[in-house]
Structure 1
Amino acid sequence: MSDSLENLIVAHLDAWNAYAGPEREQAIKEIYSPDVLIGEPGASYDGHDGMTEAISGLQAQLPGTVITRTGPIQTAHDLSTYTWALGPTGQEALATGRDVLIVRDGKIASLYVLIDAP
């Protein structure tokens, strides 16, 4: 795995943990391709506006939580995946899952979110 991929995934998680505002909007433009696809259980979003909607929706549903990577990044060609936990800092996770990313030209082109069953 390259340092640039590691940095991209760190920036991706930072964007999901960031509050709404100009810094998060700028990060979205830098991290994700303009036509990024976000696939979540029961929902899908497109583009930078869709990414903003997905992040804002999660933060509204579970305020005060953060996403933390819990496993190594695994990569095959342009696909990368890792596990994560979502919850309040320093407390037990409310949810766990896996992100599956397609990276093209140094930006995330697709993000698929898989949530572990309780």
Structure 2
Amino acid sequence: MLQSSESEERIRELLHRNLEEVFGEGDDTRRRAAIDELWAQDGVLHVPPGVIVGRQAINKFAGDLRATHPHYVYTPQGKAQVLHDAGRLAWGSGPRGETPEYTGWDVITVRDGQIMALYVFLDEASEEFRRSAGTP
């Protein structure tokens, strides 16, 4: 049986920092610096609109998404879970201090301490919100 070389602490850190510093960051320079640190060069983002490959494309997607709701924050819902080289974290997004407008799960796989892939699962009601709001 193979053992994961990724630490549980690092995977939890990646989940939380990606939520806040990539998808929650409105400043393009800070977001890009976080992506360079947290994401593998050939990282893959799986989101409802499609598959996005590479740091530059991930930065563009995150920036475009952020621009649709610049006053929203992402808030972890519960604790991150880790299994081998993967982790998942439930989150909500909406105006600070209010009930989240939409919720979902981030599931990542990690290689060499960086995010190799992120799968974003939106909860059913969130899919309806996304379509009605015209967000990517």
TM above 0.5, one fold?
yes
- 3-state SS in 1 of match to 2:55: helix
Q: Which entry has the higher C-alpha Rg, 1 or 2?
A: 2
Residue number among 42, 49, 67 corresponding to 1:42 in the alignment: 49
2:16 paired residue among 10, 24, 39: 10
Contact 1:38–1:50 (Cα < 8 Å) also in 2: no
After superposition, give the CA deviation of every residue in 1:5-33 in whole Å (9 maximum; x if it has no partner).
Answer: 22222221222111133222111100000
Quote the offset at 1:91 in angstroms.
Answer: 1.0
More strand by share: 1
Other-structure match for 2:83 = 76
When structure 1 is superposed on structure 2, of 106-115 and 7-16 the one drifting more is 7-16
Query: Are the counterparts in 2 of residues 79 and 103 from structure 1 also a CA contact under 8 Å?
Result: yes
- List per-residue Cα deviations over 1:38-94 (Å, max 9, x = no partner): 011122211111211221121122221111110221122111111000111011111
2:100 to 73, 78, 93: 93
TM-score, length of structure 1 as denominator length: 0.91
User: TM-score if structure 2 supplies the norm length?
Assistant: 0.80
In structure 2, the gaps of 5 or more residues are: 1-6, 126-136
Q: Do the aligned partners of 1:70 and 1:85 also contact (CA within 8 Å) in 2?
A: yes
Could you tell me how far 1:107 is from its partner in structure 2? 0.3
CA RMSD of aligned residues (A): 1.4
Tell me how far apart the structure 2 counterparts of residues 103 and 4 of structure 1 sit (CA, whole Å).
Answer: 9
**Structure 2 match to 1:52:** 59
Equivalent pairs: percent with the same residue?
30
How many residues in Structure 1 have an aligned counterpart in Structure 2? 118
Deviates more, 1:9-18 or 1:93-102: 9-18
**Matching residue of 2:36:** 29
Unaligned segments of structure 1, at least 5 residues: none
Secondary structure of 2:100's counterpart equals: coil
